[in-house]
């Protein structure tokens, strides 16, 4: 099988979902798309709702650098659409980043705040 950028990205999202499941999160949505943006994973643990951006890069730093302020805004907009369409009872919301590198899966909680 030839690994394309697309299949590598899908595999990274799968690794991120497995990590979250092992940490006790429940995956509510994968690749949630809206006209204003996309959320790679929507997860919940207790009353905490988490929107997760997944990046697959060679290093943690390059993965973090790949999330631009414009992309953050698109994720935030998609998150607002998700909240409006769901009927979840949640007290708190968090934006996380998971960077999948060749040898590790890095989970950065509360990676940025909504302005």
Q: Please give the chain's pLDDT, 115 residues, in tens.
A: 677 888 888 999 999 999 999 999 999 999 999 998 899 999 999 989 999 999 999 999 999 999 999 999 999 999 989 988 887 767 688 999 999 999 999 999 998 887 6
Query: What CATH number has the domain spanning 5-108?
Result: 3.40.1350.10
Residue 19 phi/psi, 5-degree rounding, is: -60, -45
pTM of the model as a whole: 0.91
Domain ranges (residues) in the chain: 5-108
């Amino acid at each position: 099988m030839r690994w394309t950028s697309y299949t590598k990205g899908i595999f990274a999202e799968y690794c991120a979902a497995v990590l979250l499941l092992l940490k006790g999160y429940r995956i509510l949505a994968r690749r949630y798309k809206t006209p204003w943006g996309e959320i790679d994973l929507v997860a919940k643990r207790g009353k905490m709702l988490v929107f997760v951006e997944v990046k697959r890069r060679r290093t943690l730093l390059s993965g973090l650098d790949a999330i631009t302020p414009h992309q953050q805004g698109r994720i935030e907009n998609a998150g607002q659409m998700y909240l409006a369409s769901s009927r979840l009872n949640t007290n708190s919301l968090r934006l996380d980043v998971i960077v999948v590198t060749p040898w590790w899966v890095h989970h950065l909680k509360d990676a940025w705040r909504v302005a």
